[in-house]
Amino acid sequence: RILEDRAKYHLAGLNKAITSTFNIQKLPIPANSRHLNHIENVWHILKIRLHKRFTQNRWERPASDGELWKVMEKEWDAIDQQTLDKLVDSLPCRVEAIIAVNGNHTKW
């Protein structure tokens, strides 16, 4: 099973061919539903952490892809479990909000 929103690449012929060839069951979710996908929220947290890090101290900006990767891993590891737990615990409220607006955007 895979989760899919209605993004164009999920509707493309190749995607349809692969999922039907391998008999993959699709679990549709509303388009642009980052509210239902925890990893999108975690990416956002990481982006904020990196922005703060690089704007507070310009001298720490990585000089190579390898250095950037190390900084990203450090910041990723620094996201505490409590923050992740809050994201998981908020899912029922997020689902209710999306149902209330028939799958449209919410303020979450």
How many domains, the chain?
A: 2
39 with 3, same domain: the answer is: no
**Tokens 């549709």 sit on residue:** 28
**Tokens 């952490």 sit on residue:** 49
What whole-number distance in Å separates Cα of residue 96 and Cα of residue 18? Answer: 32
Instruction: For 77, list phi and psi in degrees, rounded to 5.
Output: -65, -25
57 with 88, same domain: the answer is: yes
Query: Which whole-number Å values give the CA distances from 90 to 21, 33, 84, 96, 108, in the listed order?
Result: 36, 14, 10, 10, 10
Of residues 39 and 30, the one with the higher pLDDT is 39
Assigned domain for 106 exists:
no
49 with 25, same domain: the answer is: no
pLDDT of residue 78 exceeding 90, the answer is: yes
27 with 58, same domain: the answer is: no
Q: Among 89, 55, 48, which Cα is nearest to 72's?
A: 48
Split at pLDDT 50, 70, 90, the class of 54 is: confident
71 with 23, same domain: the answer is: no
pLDDT above 70 covers what percent of the chain? Answer: 81
The domain in which residue 89 lies consists of: 32-101
What whole-number distance in Å separates Cα of residue 65 and Cα of residue 99? Answer: 41
65 with 51, same domain: the answer is: yes
Assigned domain for 10 exists:
yes
72 with 60, same domain: the answer is: yes
| Count of Cβ atoms closer than 10 Å to residue 91 Cβ | 12
83 with 68, same domain: the answer is: yes
Task: Report residue 76 as tokens.
Answer: 């990723």
Assigned domain for 81 exists:
yes
56 with 78, same domain: the answer is: yes
* Model confidence pTM above 0.85: no
Of residues 39 and 73, the one with the higher pLDDT is 73
